[in-house]
Homo-oligomer: A and B are copies of this chain.
């Protein structure tokens, strides 16, 4: 049993962390902080938790985070980098669900995120928490940078092809669609119901913060830089990411076999039988990534379809998966609930 703290738990990743942690057999939720909601019961804000989460939001200045075994940062970008250092010094492990420690090139990070990095020295130390690539590093990490939602779905989709060295690395295309919860639980006109419903649009085509994160991850696997066109879209659903990936392959390798073998031992990656199309609701509320690979009309263009729940495998669930690894719990402990369909 470990004591866990959550910094900034009033967003959607916060409520999802709480949903899973409240029933995790090895976790005690010791403290959760919020500057605005201090003194309010967590289950007053998130009524789905009534009867299952007794803690109240606590002001950051009063939270004894250094008495936790692990602290999750479910904060906006730029918070964890200010506080992680002292927690690590106090022997507390840290998982940041925001972007502060994801990009190894600090100058690149500062360009995309528009602020100076408060702890550049910790960036190198942080482990990028995509267990399907970095499982062993996560196990011994003290500081984990939890991947972004788009980068999780895109990297898991491209991974087998890039590891196999059979694709044109200069012209990868990721056409990705996200549910609206990806924009977070913050008041913003473009996220209003009446703006986002019965509507579909691309955004950020000139450049999106997840682009350098994906490129870094794929380049590390490829052993060289990659060229990537990344187009995110907003789709009228609460949860879910659907990545449609395009790349050219040079050989006639059995792609179905390649994908199935790559993920055969992964508890949270499911390769669909040949010819199928994954749908986002098939992973709703769960930590699963489902993938299908196609080669339409036997052309040299491969199409990979990869779906996740952006709040679970793309955020809170993957964070708990990383926690399980860091504390030597079974990797699936507390996050094996079945997807909710319909």
Contacts and interface: CB of A to CB of B under 8 A. Distances in A.
Interface in A326-342: 336-342
A283 interface: yes
A258 interface: no
Given A189-B186, A278-B201, A299-B229, A206 B270 contact: no
Contact of A200 (B177, B194, B201): B177
B23 A202 contact: no
Interface stretch (A67-75, A94-102, A232-240): A232-240
Interface string A291-330: 0001011010101010100000000000000000000000
Interface residues of A, number: 85
A185 B193 contact: no
A48 B338 contact: yes
Given A193-B191, A197-B198, A200-B177, A342 B238 contact: yes
Nearest to A298: B206
Interface string A24-59: 000000000000000000000011111110000000
A264 to B, nearest CB: 12
A277 B186 contact: no
A46 B194 CA distance: 13
B229 A303 contact: yes
B236 A236 contact: yes
Contacts of A165: none
Contacts of A283: 48
Contacts of A296: 205-207, 229-231
Given A52-B338, A181-B342, A294 B205 contact: yes
Contacts of A339: 48
A257 to B, nearest CB: 18
Interface stretch (A78-86, A117-125, A126-134, A241-249): A241-249
Given A199-B240, A237-B198, A284-B198, A12 B177 contact: no
A231 B229 CA distance: 17
Given A200-B279, A277-B205, A281-B48, A194 B177 contact: no
Nearest to A203: B277
A188 B185 contact: no
A93 interface: no
Identify the interface centre among A189, A235, A301, A341: most chain B CB within 10 Å of its CB: A341
Nearest to A336: B23
B188 A191 contact: no
A227 interface: yes
15 contacts: A23-B336, A23-B337, A48-B339, A175-B175, A175-B246, A193-B193, A193-B197, A193-B236, A197-B197, A198-B198, A198-B280, A199-B280, A205-B305, A227-B299, A246-B246
The 3 closest A-B pairs by CB, nearest first: A201-B279, A48-B339, A187-B187
